[in-house]
Amino acid sequence: MKLKSYITSLLLSGILSLYAQQIIPITKKEVLESVSENNTTIKISIEEFNRARAEFRQTNSIFLPHISISYTGISTTNPLMAFGSKLNQEILTPNDFDPALLNDPSQIQNFATTFEIEQPLINLDGIYQREAAKSKMEAMSLKRQRTVDYIEFEVNNAYMQLQLAYKVVDVVKKALEAAKANQMLADNGFEQGLLQRADVLNVEVRLNEVKNQLHQAKSNVQNASNYLSFLMNDDSFFIYQPADSLTVNEMLTIHKTISEDRSDIRAMFLSTNALKAMNKADKMTFFPRLNAFGSYQLYDDDIFEAQANGYVFGAKLSWDIFQGSKRFGKAQKSKAEFEKSKLEYRQYVSKSKLELHKANRMYVDAKNKLNLSKLALQQAEESLRIRTNRFKEGLEKTSDLLMAETQFAQKQLEYYQTIFEHNYAQTYLAFLTKG
């Protein structure tokens, strides 16, 4: 039985290993759709907005009445409570005014149902607290939108990294084929006495280097695929293959300014407004509050009965004149937080403009580098073609051929890396100027 279980576990692990290494074709659109539905960061931002919205809804209490119902049952021989209970139950008799009974009453039961209502009328600090909560809710909504924009930017970046990883694999595979062909030529040349043993060893060293590069390139494909899985909140961690290849994206215009309507900048502005409103709310605590109130009571000496009733209603003007220095300190604290927020807002806008200038320069540099790397690639390819033909005729040194082959592979990798940098710069510019 143990052997059978062991074989079964080995088979299962083998199947799972094959499943984990399954290569899945995928498009950027499919990634974006999956990320929008499943990404954990986006879900967290949604819950943060839901929390802010709930806090705003709590401030409805400054307009809506507070209503409560209570049911109380007591047994007492306390003289005052016993007399009051009889009075509420409307069962007092002349005998109850006997001093002996007043001073030493018998036990009495009292069951009371109370309906209470309190209606805020003037609550100045609550009004500004509601304004602050509304600004915070709107800020969280914009922050959620910026989170979606950022995750979309990350998806574009991750997808391009996957495209680049496959390009690197293709380049290294071609370099490996060339290295194997050179090894065959070197072996033939050595057998014919045209090459030294050191030349053959140099070719073999180059072949082993390319094999190692291929292994690393395939690992990079797995890393890029795993990051896409992370963004999609997918624990299967398949190996993905992009449906389209890495190509140069063209952008017609380069943005020069940052819009202050961008969601994250607008969110910071609203957060500053929220702190401003909170500072006003703290100042308003120095003013009185006016509330209306009312209650309706039902009394009886039997449970769940109500033979007597009464009501109270009125208005209360309350003014908390002095709480030590607590309110002064709280107002000063909220004022400092408001001033700090204004400075942080201006700093954030300034930093965003700085990032835009850097991104524009990065795009221009990448575009220039792209043209130069394309030209260098063409030159390296032509140099390799010439040296390969001369090597076949015994007119070229092995070291020169290997150098040309290595240079061509490097220029290919540099070219595709430059395409990635060019496209990344465009995507980053679009992210910075969105909104």
Q: What is the mean pLDDT of residues 179-193?
A: 79
Domain 22-62+123-285+327-432, CATH among 1.20.1600.10, 3.20.20.70, 3.40.50.970, 1.25.40.10: 1.20.1600.10
Instruction: State residue 178's pLDDT score.
Output: 80
Instruction: State residue 327's pLDDT score.
Output: 84
Instruction: State residue 395's pLDDT score.
Output: 74
Let me know: does 149 contact 259? Beta carbons within 8 Å: no
| Cα 23 to Cα 41: distance, rounded to the nearest angstrom | 26
Of 35, 120, 101, nearest to 292 (Cα)? 120
**Does residue 1 surpass a pLDDT of 80?**
no
Sorted by sequence, the CB contacts under 8 Å of residue 125 that are 6+ apart come out as: 281, 282, 284, 285, 287
Percent of the chain with pLDDT over 70: 94
Task: Supply 76's token pair.
Answer: 């007492």
Q: What is the mean pLDDT of residues 189-204?
A: 79
194 HSE (CA, 13 A, CB side): 14
Task: Supply 7's token pair.
Answer: 């074989």
Task: Supply 36's token pair.
Answer: 């929008």
Instruction: State residue 312's pLDDT score.
Output: 94
Of 270, 75, 44, nearest to 144 (Cα)? 44
Confidence of residue 21 (pLDDT cuts 50, 70, 90): low
**Model confidence pLDDT, tens digit, residues 303-349:** 888 888 999 999 999 888 877 788 889 899 999 999 999 999 999 99
Instruction: Kindly report, as residue ranges, where domains of CATH 1.20.1600.10 are found in the chain.
Output: 22-62+123-285+327-432
pTM of the model: 0.82
Sorted by sequence, the CB contacts under 8 Å of residue 376 that are 6+ apart come out as: 411, 414, 415
Q: What is the mean pLDDT of residues 255-271?
A: 89
**Model confidence pLDDT, tens digit, residues 49-63:** 999 999 999 999 999
Q: What is the mean pLDDT of residues 267-275?
A: 95
Least confident range from 96-100, 377-381, 391-395: namely: 391-395
Least confident range from 185-189, 292-296, 331-335: namely: 185-189
Average pLDDT, the chain: 87
For the ranges 72-76, 172-176, 285-289, 402-406, the maximum mean pLDDT occurs at 72-76
49 compared with 410, residue with greater pLDDT = 49
| Cα 339 to Cα 345: distance, rounded to the nearest angstrom | 10
| Cα 182 to Cα 254: distance, rounded to the nearest angstrom | 46
